[in-house]
Amino acid sequence: MWKTLETLPADQSVSLQEVLAQIPWNADGLIPAIAQQYDTKEVLMLAWMNAEALQETLAKGRVCYWSRSRQQLWRKGESSGQIQELREARFDCDGDTLLLQVDQTGPACHTGRRDCFYNLVQGDRVVVDQPVLIDPGTLYGK
């Protein structure tokens, strides 16, 4: 499937169901999903999806991931209110990574920061370069 897509000219398409059937899931049945703010192109986070999470996301338009730590579906924003509305989904060239362009409500990171990539490498130091926007205790009621 992925070789076929490589050779198609722009504006040609194949069935979504055919593509979904050919996703090269990892040994745990997961695929990485990168969330990007659709209008600013800011990379927000990386999470994982299983087939059920991907199908729910595509059907409902609200992003759902698979929580590896809790071993259950993780509907982004379900407990914090910081939801991700799906604007566009893209597979990479070999189908083993998803790019989800989303409209993020509030912080994307569980730390209360806008995104999860706030640890900036500068020479021999790592600098926290983003403020906490909302205290995690407030986000999660802890």
109 is in an annotated binding site: yes
CA distance 9 to 128: 43
What confidence score (pLDDT) does residue 79 get? 82
**Contact status, residue 73 vs residue 7, Cβ threshold 8 Å:** no
For the chain, the farthest-separated pair of C-alpha atoms sits apart, in whole angstroms, at 52
Task: Give per-residue pLDDT as tens, 65-95.
Answer: 999 999 999 998 888 889 999 999 999 999 9
Residue 19 forms beta bridges with which residues?
A: none
93 is in an annotated binding site: yes
Rg of the chain's alpha carbons, rounded to an integer? 17
Q: Give the residue ranges of the chain where pLDDT is below 70.
A: 142
39 is in an annotated binding site: no
What confidence score (pLDDT) does residue 115 get? 97
What confidence score (pLDDT) does residue 122 get? 98
What confidence score (pLDDT) does residue 142 get? 61
129 is in an annotated binding site: no
User: 67 is written with which tokens?
Assistant: 């929580």
What confidence score (pLDDT) does residue 138 get? 86
Q: Decide which of 3.30.450.20, 2.30.30.90, 3.10.20.810, 3.40.50.150 is the CATH code for 2-110.
A: 3.10.20.810
